Amino acid sequence: MNIVLIGPPGAGKGTQSKLLSERFSIPQISTGDILRANVREKTPMGLRAKDYMERGILVPDELVVEMVVDRLSQDDCARGFILDGFPRNVKQAEALEETLDKSGKKIDAVIGFEVERRELVRRLSGRRVCRKCGATYHIIFNPPINIDVCDRCGDELYQRDDDKEETIEARLKVYEEETLPVVEYYKKRGLYKGVNGIGSVDEINEAIVKAIG
């Protein structure tokens, strides 16, 4: 099963894609996570991507597309995959279609998370992430037992640079201008299924599983 998750930053794509990955035993491919790992390890790709990410704007297509094409060609994607954070613009959507075509594959469903702007800002500005295992918390809605310490692995929690207020606005603008046209792209192809992104993690997960069918 080949699934794409689309939604604004803070909509819950990361949380839900991890759950879907476990449920269907297929890998979650988060371009944001891969890029952040490259920035941390100071790889050539990470060094090129860092500035764009800090500003909340998209990393150039050629970097991201190559990264995804390479990842999709790995063996663990043969039975399916969940794309989280890609495609982020129409060019990337076209590149994905072309790559899948070449290997006789197709997208089975595109799940779109629908969450209003005010709620996204609330979620992103309070988000904290574990440096080691990537678990996410919210300082008010889902706080860790001990402040700044991960319940799961005991490592340190931090606030992503791009979750600071000035960058949140830039990311939401990028979503509206560049990613919303991708929603239209998939609607035209009859692949898009919108899901209400407000509710408990379990409720939203159930709605997604139903939408996938």
Active site residue 48: no
Q: Residue 148, SS3?
A: coil
**What tokens appear for 195 in the block?**
């899901």
User: Which of residues 201 and 210 has its CB atom nearest to ligand AMP in the complex?
Assistant: 201
Q: Nearest to ligand AMP by Cβ — which residue?
A: 32
Candidate residues 85, 111, 113, 172; the one interacting with ligand AMP per rule CB under 6 A: 85
CA–CA distances in Å: residue 28 to residues 82, 117, 126, 162: 5, 25, 24, 22
# binding residues, ligand AMP (CB under 6 A): 17
One-letter identity of residue 180: L
Using rule CB under 6 A, residue 7 touches ligand AMP = no
8 binds ligand AMP, rule: CB under 6 A:
no
Q: Is 67 left (phi over 0), alpha (psi -120 to 50) or beta?
A: alpha
The strand pair at 127-130 and 136-138 is best described as antiparallel
- Of 154, 141, 155, 124, whose CA–CA distance to 32 is shortest? 124
CA distance 82 to 106: 12
Catalytic hit among 18, 105, 160, 193? 160
Do 114 and 6 meet the contact criterion of CB atoms below 8 Å apart? Answer: no
Q: Is 123 a catalytic residue?
A: no
Q: Per-residue contact track with ligand AMP, 130 to 169, x per CB under 6 A?
A: --------------------------------x-------
Does 111 sit near ligand AMP (CB under 6 A)? Answer: no
Yes or no: say if 83 and 3 are a contact pair by the CB < 8 Å rule: yes
For ligand AMP, the binding residues in 167-186 under the rule CB under 6 A are: 171
Based on the shown chain and the rule CB under 6 A, indicate whether residue 72 belongs to the binding site for ligand AMP.
no
The answer to whether 160 is a known catalytic residue is: yes
Q: Does 9 bind ligand AMP (CB under 6 A)?
A: yes
Provide the binding-site residues for ligand AMP, judged by CB under 6 A: 9, 31-32, 35, 52-53, 56-59, 64, 85-86, 88, 92, 162, 171
Please identify every residue annotated as catalytic. 13, 88, 127, 160, 171
